[in-house]
């Protein structure tokens, strides 16, 4: 009977709607209002990001300042060479400027195939100034990702704006500004978490290609230790989402898996050669330290030398409002549960003080970094941000399932299902922060200003939390203008306090993210980058030029120094350099020999000489007299003569004559991928022969030249190069096919609804 009544009522409403005069004005007005609202929000987002960029990074854009220290190492010098001398479709395989040359695939932190760097390099010279500006833009990109993450979980625009401002001041954007791959990894993380969420718009035709693009570019540029740590955290997040949100497989896991497969294929040109070139250096010991004093860096500055770890690895800062708001996340919501599970995994695997930490190096990938705590810190902070946005959304009434007036006066916070007074969590955070400020290694002027901001934010949060209760008689209801105004004011105050907290923290410790650019360039390279670039000339010649030798006596700081990286800018080569090749056996061999008091000088002379082919002296390199004879008179030992006939980085050509089959060594560093071929001289007098290439003395290229007169050509192509490109094109084609298929499916007209009989009679059913 009830069903029949409802059907009659539905039919009556339909008849009434048909009797009204049709007009497009209401619908048009709604669409116009929607467009206007979206435009306003876009302007707010853009305006906020521009204001934040100008406030914090204007010096990056005008070129007056840049990040310090490692920023002047191979992060940017290699990126300049890779994009200047090659590019995306003509990649540089061999970099000759340090350590006897090395494959670009060995140094995975060189921004190879990373599109943002390529776009900047296409517009201007990719120097320190350009790289600093790109770093600033990555901070804005990461902040925008926090807003997108809030959007896919429907937390509301205000929660997204709080997340945007808060994540703009995440610790490593400033503490790790020198480490390009760590800072960029932070910027990509909220985007990855967004596409791992059920709210990602997988039904759109562009969703899978965009998700694949995000995964591909993030994996190209993120520090390897962060990638390994992120995989564990992302898997935990994904499992939790599947358990509690329960999206359908075809709406989430299936398109996500397709996106991941495409991304892995696109990574082929970079990571397949890298995997095949990786040495067996083994895992490195974890040097992470976590002290009670470091917990204070969630709130306070991190520059005090009494804190453990390198200064770039100490801080766990997010604006203090995040600590307060995280306690009000609704734990029955799938978002909070997923964040909790992911955060727990990050703590269990990342905190070095736990009893099982020593055994974690046996887990796949976790042994590649010396600083596991820093690698997992990114996930810890992102989880905290997610909980803060969820708590903020609940407090200001944006969360769709937690209206502000429907909760009791005692609210559920971080204590599981138990209820506590609304002011308890803010008070607990303030008490804990005060204790760490007094007992920790912080000066009064370091912790008091930050604590004042925390206390002010705690008052606002506690006041908003009082709204999580049933209104008393006579008080405004949650939907009334007064209640909305209170929540709007509180939300605005919290966003403002988030900004104050972040700005205060960042400008308190500037040594990690601000240094005078021109002065530091001169100190790092011996001249400014502009002056070095003015010296750069296109190479022309038949012999590889000599390398700048290391000064005597040799020491570790002189061997690994940014001074030798000047050659990347002006085109000269050096024996040493500040390059991360730690997992390369060849690099390890050369460094150990250079540091040997007896073997160091001849090895230094061997690699600093111009390109030569010499009779192999066995376990030792030829002495300086033999190098000079070969260079001046082409007498290269054991009846071998050699004359340079052509040179490009990664390709060397010599005319050699051997009285007998002769083992030879070239003063180029050996890596898998070198090939050698001899063709008879004069041309056409015999057949060419392929030669086996092995590692000779001091980690150099060695082979055996048969008796006779030959043109010897030695080429370098990284292993897996062709297979990697085949995988890339397969991924690109797959992405295109998926996008095309989704677009075609989306263009199909929706099926017409079948007529449904109603109690209004046969005529009404026919009209429907």
Q: Is the domain of 503 the same as that of 633? A: no
Q: Is the domain of 239 the same as that of 110? A: yes
Residue 420: per-residue pLDDT: 66
Instruction: Identify the H or E element spanning 142.
Output: helix 128-152
Query: Which range (49-63, 217-231, 573-587) has the least confidence?
Result: 573-587
Domain end call among 487, 508, 529: 508
Per-residue pLDDT band at 750 (split at 50, 70, 90): low
Comparing CA positions, the residue from 127, 86, 132 lying closest to residue 105 is 86
The answer to whether residue 155 is domain-embedded is yes
Q: Is the domain of 211 the same as that of 315? A: yes
109-167 pLDDT per residue, tens = 999 999 999 999 999 999 999 999 999 999 999 999 999 999 999 999 999 999 999 99
- What's the rounded mean pLDDT across residues 440-451? 91
Q: Is the domain of 503 the same as that of 617? A: no
Helix (H, G, I), strand (E, B) or coil at 631: helix
- What does pLDDT average to over the chain? 89
Question: Residues near 633 by Cβ (< 8 Å), separated by ≥ 6?
Answer: none
Comparing CA positions, the residue from 368, 95, 113, 102 lying closest to residue 265 is 113
Q: Is the domain of 630 the same as that of 498? A: no
Domain end call among 686, 716, 746: 716
Comparing CA positions, the residue from 377, 408, 330, 353 lying closest to residue 153 is 330
The answer to whether residue 129 is domain-embedded is yes
Q: Is the domain of 501 the same as that of 609? A: no
Give the residue, 748 or 207, on which the prediction is more confident: 207
Comparing CA positions, the residue from 329, 378, 321, 322 lying closest to residue 350 is 378
Where on the phi/psi map is residue 708: left (φ > 0), alpha (ψ -120 to 50), or beta? left
Q: Does the global pTM surpass 0.85? A: yes
**Over 50: is that where the pLDDT of 415 sits?**
no
Number of folded domains that form the chain: 2
Q: Is the domain of 117 the same as that of 242? A: yes
CB 642 within 8 A of CB 620: no
Helical H runs in 267-333?
A: 268-277, 292-295, 320-326
509-531 pLDDT per residue, tens = 999 999 999 999 999 999 999 99
**Over 90: is that where the pLDDT of 655 sits?**
yes
DSSP for 411-445 reads EE-SSTT-EEETTHHHHHHHHHHHHHHHHSS--HH
**Over 80: is that where the pLDDT of 282 sits?**
no
**Over 70: is that where the pLDDT of 764 sits?**
no
**Over 60: is that where the pLDDT of 417 sits?**
no
The answer to whether residue 120 is domain-embedded is yes
**Over 80: is that where the pLDDT of 478 sits?**
no
581-603 pLDDT per residue, tens = 987 999 999 999 999 999 999 99
Q: Is the domain of 312 the same as that of 415? A: yes
Q: Is the domain of 618 the same as that of 501? A: no
Query: Which range (3-12, 157-166, 273-282, 292-301) has the least confidence?
Result: 3-12
**Over 80: is that where the pLDDT of 283 sits?**
no
Report the CATH number that the domain containing residue 683 is assigned in CATH: 2.60.40
**Over 60: is that where the pLDDT of 1 sits?**
no
Give the residue, 477 or 194, on which the prediction is more confident: 194
**Over 90: is that where the pLDDT of 663 sits?**
yes
The answer to whether residue 265 is domain-embedded is yes
Number of residues in the chain: 768
Q: Is the domain of 487 the same as that of 630? A: no
Residue 665: per-residue pLDDT: 97
Angle at the Cα of 617 from the Cα atoms of 602 and 280, rounded to 5 degrees: 80
CB 168 within 8 A of CB 189: no
> Around Cβ 709, how many Cβ atoms within 10 Å?
15
CB 667 within 8 A of CB 700: yes
**Over 50: is that where the pLDDT of 487 sits?**
yes
Residue 755: per-residue pLDDT: 57
Tokens of residue 591, six digits: 């460094």
The answer to whether residue 340 is domain-embedded is yes
The answer to whether residue 676 is domain-embedded is yes
Angle at the Cα of 578 from the Cα atoms of 575 and 584, rounded to 5 degrees: 80
CB 68 within 8 A of CB 178: yes
Comparing CA positions, the residue from 289, 259, 131 lying closest to residue 195 is 259
57-86 pLDDT per residue, tens = 999 999 999 999 999 999 999 999 999 999
Which residue range is the domain that position 129 belongs to?
55-274+288-508
Instruction: Identify the H or E element spanning 612.
Output: none
The answer to whether residue 747 is domain-embedded is no
Instruction: Identify which of 24-38, 318-332, 576-590, 744-758 has the greatest average pLDDT.
Output: 318-332
Comparing CA positions, the residue from 673, 716, 711, 718 lying closest to residue 542 is 711
241-265 pLDDT per residue, tens = 999 999 999 999 999 999 999 999 9
Helix (H, G, I), strand (E, B) or coil at 515: strand
Q: Is the domain of 503 the same as that of 609? A: no
Domain end call among 508, 540, 562: 508
The answer to whether residue 564 is domain-embedded is no
Between strands 651-658 and 640-648, the pairing is antiparallel
């Amino acid at each position: 009977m009830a069903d029949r009544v409802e059907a009659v009522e539905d039919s009556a409403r339909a008849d009434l709607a048909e009797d009204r005069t049709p007009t497009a004005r209401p619908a048009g007005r709604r669409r116009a209002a929607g467009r206007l609202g979206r435009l306003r929000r876009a302007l707010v987002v853009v305006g906020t990001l521009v204001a934040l960029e100008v406030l914090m990074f204007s010096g990056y854009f005008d070129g007056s300042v840049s990040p310090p220290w490692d920023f002047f190492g191979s992060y940017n010098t290699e990126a300049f060479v890779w994009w200047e001398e090659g590019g995306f479709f003509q990649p540089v395989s061999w970099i000759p400027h340090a350590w006897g040359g090395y494959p670009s695939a060995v140094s995975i932190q060189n921004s190879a195939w990373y599109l943002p760097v390529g776009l900047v390099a296409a517009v201007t010279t990719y120097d320190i100034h350009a790289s600093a500006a790109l770093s600033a833009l990555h901070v804005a990109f990461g902040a925008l990702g926090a807003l997108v993450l809030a959007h896919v979980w429907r937390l509301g625009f205000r929660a997204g704006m709080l997340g945007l401002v808060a994540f703009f001041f995440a610790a490593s954007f400033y503490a790790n500004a020198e480490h390009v791959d760590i800072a960029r990894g932070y910027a990509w993380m909220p985007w990855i978490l967004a596409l791992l969420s059920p709210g990602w718009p997988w039904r759109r035709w562009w969703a899978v290609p965009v998700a694949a693009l995000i995964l591909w570019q993030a994996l190209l540029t993120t520090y390897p230790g962060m990638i390994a740590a992120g995989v564990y955290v992302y898997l935990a997040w994904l499992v939790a989402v599947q358990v509690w949100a329960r999206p359908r497989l075809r709406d989430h896991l299936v398109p996500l898996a397709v996106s991941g497969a495409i991304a892995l294929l696109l990574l082929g040109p970079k990571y397949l050669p890298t995997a095949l070139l990786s040495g067996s250096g083994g895992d490195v010991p974890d040097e992470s330290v976590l002290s009670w004093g470091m917990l204070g860096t969630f709130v306070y500055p991190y520059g005090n030398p009494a804190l453990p770890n390198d200064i770039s690895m100490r801080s766990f800062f997010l604006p203090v409002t995040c600590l307060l708001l995280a306690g009000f996340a609704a734990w029955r919501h799938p978002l909070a549960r997923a964040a909790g599970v992911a955060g727990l995994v990050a703590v269990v695997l990342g905190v070095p003080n736990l009893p099982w930490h020593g055994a974690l190096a046996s887990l796949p990938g976790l042994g590649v970094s010396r600083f596991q705590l820093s690698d997992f810190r990114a996930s810890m902070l992102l989880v905290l941000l997610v909980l803060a946005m969820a708590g903020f959304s609940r407090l200001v009434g944006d969360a769709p399932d937690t209206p502000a007036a429907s909760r009791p006066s005692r609210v559920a916070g971080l204590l599981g299902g138990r209820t506590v007074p609304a002011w308890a969590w803010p008070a607990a955070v303030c008490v804990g922060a005060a204790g760490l400020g007094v007992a920790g290694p912080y000066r009064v002027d370091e912790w008091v200003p930050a604590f004042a901001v925390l206390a002010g934010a705690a008052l606002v949060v506690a006041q908003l939390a009082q709204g999580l209760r049933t209104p008393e008689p006579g008080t405004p209801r949650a939907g009334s203008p007064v209640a909305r105004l209170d929540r709007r004011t509180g939300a605005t105050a919290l966003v403002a306090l988030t900004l104050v907290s972040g700005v205060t923290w960042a400008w308190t410790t500037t040594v990690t993210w601000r240094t005078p650019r021109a002065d530091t360039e001169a100190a790092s390279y011996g001249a400014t980058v502009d002056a070095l670039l003015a010296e750069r000339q296109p190479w022309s010649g038949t012999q590889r030029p000599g390398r700048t030798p290391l000064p005597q006596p040799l020491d570790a700081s002189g061997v690994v120094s940014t001074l030798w990286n000047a050659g990347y800018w002006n085109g000269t080569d050096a024996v040493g350099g500040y390059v991360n090749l730690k997992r390369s056996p060849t690099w390890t061999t050369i460094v150990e020999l250079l540091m040997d008091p007896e073997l160091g000088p001849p090895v230094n002379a061997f690699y600093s000489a111009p390109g030569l082919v010499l009779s192999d002296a066995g376990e030792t390199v030829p002495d300086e007299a033999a190098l000079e004879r070969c260079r001046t008179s082409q007498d290269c030992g054991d009846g071998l003569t050699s004359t340079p006939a052509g040179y490009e980085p990664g390709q060397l050509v010599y005319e050699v004559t051997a009285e007998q089959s002769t083992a030879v060594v070239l003063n180029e560093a050996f890596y898998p991928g070198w090939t050698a071929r001899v063709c008879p001289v004069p041309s056409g007098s015999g057949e060419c022969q392929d030669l086996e290439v092995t590692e000779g003395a001091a980690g150099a290229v060695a082979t055996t030249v048969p008796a006779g007169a030959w043109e010897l050509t030695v080429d370098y192509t990284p292993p897996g190069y062709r297979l990697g490109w085949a995988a890339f094109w397969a991924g690109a084609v797959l992405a295109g096919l998926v996008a095309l298929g989704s677009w075609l499916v989306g263009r199909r007209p929706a099926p017409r609804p079948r007529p449904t009989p109603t109690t209004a009679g046969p005529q009404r059913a026919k009209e429907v």
